[in-house]
Amino acid sequence: MILVQNHLLVRKEYAKQFEDAFRSSKTDMTSVAGFIRTEILRPVKGNEYIVATYWNSMEDFNQWVGSDQFRSSHSKQTLPRDAFEGQSTITLHEIV
Would you say domain 2-94 falls under CATH 3.10.580.10?
Answer: no
Total length of the chain: 96
- The pTM for the full model equals 0.88
Assign 54 a pLDDT band (cuts: 50, 70, 90). Answer: very high
56 SS3 class: coil
Quick one: pLDDT at residue 80? 87
Q: How far, in Å, CA of 43 to CA of 19, rounded?
A: 12
**What confidence tens digit (pLDDT) does each residue in 14-44 have?**
999 999 988 877 667 888 999 999 999 999 9
Cβ-proximal residues to 31 (8 Å cutoff; 6+ apart), any chain: none
- What is the pLDDT, as a whole number, of residue 24? 79
Helix (H, G, I), strand (E, B) or coil at 9: strand
Sketch the domain layout of the chain as residue ranges: 2-94
Amino acid identity, position 52: A
